[in-house]
Structure 1
Amino acid sequence: MRFYDSLGPNPQVVRTFAAEKGIALARVPVDIMAGENRSEAFRAINPLGQMPALQLDDGTVVTEVTAICELLEDLHPQPALIGTNAVERAETRMWVRRFDLALLEPFMLGFRATLARSFFAPRMPLLSEAAGQEMMAHWAERLRFFDALLAGRRFVCGDRFSLADIPLGAFLRFAPAAGVSLPADLDWIPGWLDRLAARGTFDA
């Protein structure tokens, strides 16, 4: 397998997931700052020009971080990061979907249209800057909602660390580094981020 890797939270999700499972991926760096992911050569791998991508030994290419992680879970079931039974797997997927729709998508739409506008404007259609600011405000509001909803848990799925922790953790670790401050009135998330950092796999 060849893992097309780059800067950014999405590739970090796969690197962390693989590290938690002890999987060594053959990494192929892609320079997104130079637009290599938009090149004809990379679009032959992923026509959407998005990162990351996993190319299997038979040439099959899988993109989208959740799909890649699901594949790695199927190929390497232990330790189980999606779940050991149908109920656990459903719970994990429920939280992943909630975060995708309510937090990660608004964050990226808002971030690209505001703080990162000069970088993304030549590369893709963007919301207006005003709409981007609204998206960032919506993201912060929803983050406070989930912060309160998850109070008292060790991880998103209770005591069970899972895929549900990884994408949100990767994005919330990325945000301050990209100039986006987390709301100051969060109660649960700061301690949760500390627990994720202590695992060491978010530095993979």
Structure 2
Amino acid sequence: MPTSRIARRTQAERSAAMKQRLIEATLGALVDVGYAELTFAHVVQRAGVSRGAPLYHFASKAALVEAAAEALIHKLLDRVIRIWKIAETSADPIGVFCVTLWRELYNARQGAMLAELSHASRHSAELTVIVSRLWTEAYQVLTEMPASETRAGGSEAAALMIPVGRMMMMSTWFMRGMAEDVHLGASEGLFEAYLDSWVAMLRAQAAR
């Protein structure tokens, strides 16, 4: 293989790695300083790169945030689906799915990143268009998932057809709402109690 082709591929890989580094730094900065205060300087500092790096790869702050939002939402979507794939093989798929989704995603740093994007979009028409498009794509994927014939809870439960997409979409909305109040200092037990109630309602819905 010609050396020039190898060099181009290596440069492309370096460029992709730099973009990913900038995206991760942007998501971290969104949590720490918020969208309104976010600047290229914050991103540069967190990423440990030169001041010209962001503008070399992204034409504007909006372009950088769009790339970061797209990476985050696609990552979250993949994670939601993977959690379900594991949960549906358990004795309590709805319970395992909801508890894992809450603990590992929405009550975690990624959930805070998502909340900041949602808040910021209320005050930025440009960001509203970006986040709306990405969530529409994500929700479409979720709602088109086929129903799953599995148990609604406990080994003694009868097999049921669970509308996976609807359950996922409702759960993401529910947990995004709970995550809004985590910073207010309520005990983890309170959120877990409401999570138990949510799981019970989903089981009842699946049993109809």
Higher RCO structure, 1 or 2 (CA under 8 Å, sep 6+): 1
* TM-score grouping bracket, smaller chain normalisation: 0.3 to 0.5
After TM superposition, the score normalised by the length of structure 2 is 0.32
Q: TM-score, normalised by structure 1?
A: 0.32
User: Per residue, is there more helix in 1 or in 2?
Assistant: 2
Answer with 1 or 2: which has the greater Rg. 2
